[in-house]
Amino acid sequence: MEDRRSIDSILRETLTRHRFLLNTKIRAAQAPENPQPFTLDDLKAFAASIPTKDPDLKDEVQNVIEAVETGKAPQPPRFNTPESQLLWGAGLAYVKLN
């Protein structure tokens, strides 16, 4: 059985690129000189680009978007998949940066 903690294994995981992309967006928004905003459109584009086989992720995207726009999620957050965890992490990052 392969060690999931090895760097090669981590880099092969489907969501790794998206985790790096989110990290890059957060760092760019926090840059002391010439910060690049992390906008709602950026969050929506990021959410739409998350690869998934979970048919419920689209509903969770709407849940996150409404939560960041109004301050309240219409449905309890779902953290049961890596994709939904990444999605909520992106939503929380958006709120913190804006």
Closest residue by Cα to residue 75 from 32, 31, 84? 84
Domain ranges of the chain: 7-97
Q: What is the pLDDT of residues 8-55, one digit of tens each?
A: 777 777 898 899 999 999 999 999 999 999 999 999 999 999 999 889
> What is the helix (H) or strand (E) element at residue 50, kind and residue range?
none
Structure tokens at 52: 């998934």
What pTM value is reported for the model? 0.87
Mean pLDDT of the chain: 92
| DSSP tag of 35 | P
Structure tokens at 66: 């409404």
The C-alpha atoms of residue 6 and residue 92 are separated, in whole angstroms, by 28
Structure confidence at residue 6 (pLDDT): 75
Termini Cα distance of the chain = 43
